[in-house]
Structure 1
Amino acid sequence: METTDLTIRAFRPDDRAAVTALWRASGLVLPHNDPDADLARAADQANSDILLGLLSDGTVAASVMVGHDGHRGWLYYVAVAANARGRGHGRAIVAAAEDWLRTRGIPKAQLMIRDTNTGVRDFYAGLGWNEAPRIVMERWL
């Protein structure tokens, strides 16, 4: 999939530094997140992967971690570099994740937005995503 200057492909080990830098610059890494561990758990697995959007010069401009449990798909680490926004790259990377799930027969995709990340709610609504009132509970193991 391409936008005007974006090619989407799967993560490769030599992308690690660029991807973690994008995630940090986008405010997606918190003290309890270990992006390297998340990359190791999700990259090139049977039920998950990390998709990257690259500019024509090879710069990583967008990312999404996508996975599923056999029933529902999940999107994580959706990011577009600040200097690459406004060109459809966010739409393209989300569409690539949706396609990844669709080809695996997964009928539903979900994502979570931190309540402090208010700027992206309208972005996802514009892509046809709906807010689902849920209580998410967690337990660290």
Structure 2
Amino acid sequence: MVTIRPFALRDTESVITLWQDAGLTRSWNNPHLDIQRKLAVQPELFLVAADDRDDVVGSVMAGYDGHRGWLYYLASAPTHRRQGIARELVETAEAKLVEMGCPKVQLMVRPGNEATMGFYDALGYEQFEIGATGKRLIAD
């Protein structure tokens, strides 16, 4: 049994450890800065799953730009997988996006993480054949 709640500053190190354990961190992203930036923009869309001891066992960041919603940093602790935590995080984030008037939500899956596609398929997400590009505007 977990509780989905807003991220709190006291969760910072636990969330970063979770992201590292789940293989979500990259050398070119500073997770402390990612958290700091999220807390400055739509912090209500940064959620964690906490167990009965209030230990963080899952996380998701969501965002809404007025056109579509996005999901980022979805993770569940390796010791708590297959318990519905990621599903509950996604469903809660989606509900919050709907409350904001968000008509659709998307996410990106990195190459090498294709095993997660079955999870997203089961939640009703459809795969797109698109290319993604990006440009760093601020060095971390």
Q: Which position in structure 2 is the counterpart of 1:68?
A: 64
TM-score normalised by length of structure 1: 0.92
- SS of 1:52's equivalent in the other structure is strand
- Whether the aligned pair in 1 keeps the contact of 2:45 and 2:93 (CA below 8 Å) is no
Candidates 9, 22, 27, aligned match of 1:26: 22
Which position in structure 1 is the counterpart of 2:73?
Answer: 77
Contact 1:61 1:80 survives alignment (8 Å): yes
Residues 1-141 of structure 1: pairs in structure 2 closer than 5 A: 5-43=1-39, 45-46=41-42, 49-141=45-137
The CA distance in 2 between the partners of 1:49 and 1:37, in whole Å, is 16
Structure 1: 4+ residue segments shifted above 4 A? none
Change beyond 3 A, Cα 1:61–1:47: closer
Structure 1: segments with no counterpart, 5+ residues: none
Deviations 1:106-140 (A, max 9, x none): 00100000011122011100111100121111112
Structure 2 unaligned runs (5+)?
none
Report Cα offsets for 1:10-43 as digits up to 9, x if no partner: 1011110000000011000010111111101112
Could you say if the C-alpha distance between residues 133 and 48 of structure 1 is closer, same or farther in structure 2, counting changes exceeding 3 Å? Answer: farther
Q: Identity percentage over the alignment?
A: 37
Please, what TM-score do these two structures have when normalized by structure 2? Answer: 0.93
Structure 1 vs Structure 2 CA RMSD? 1.3
Q: Secondary structure at the match of 1:131?
A: coil
3-state SS of 1:135 partner: coil
* Alpha-carbon distance in structure 2 between the residues aligned to 1:65 and 1:124: 16
Stretch moving more, 42-51 or 26-35: 42-51
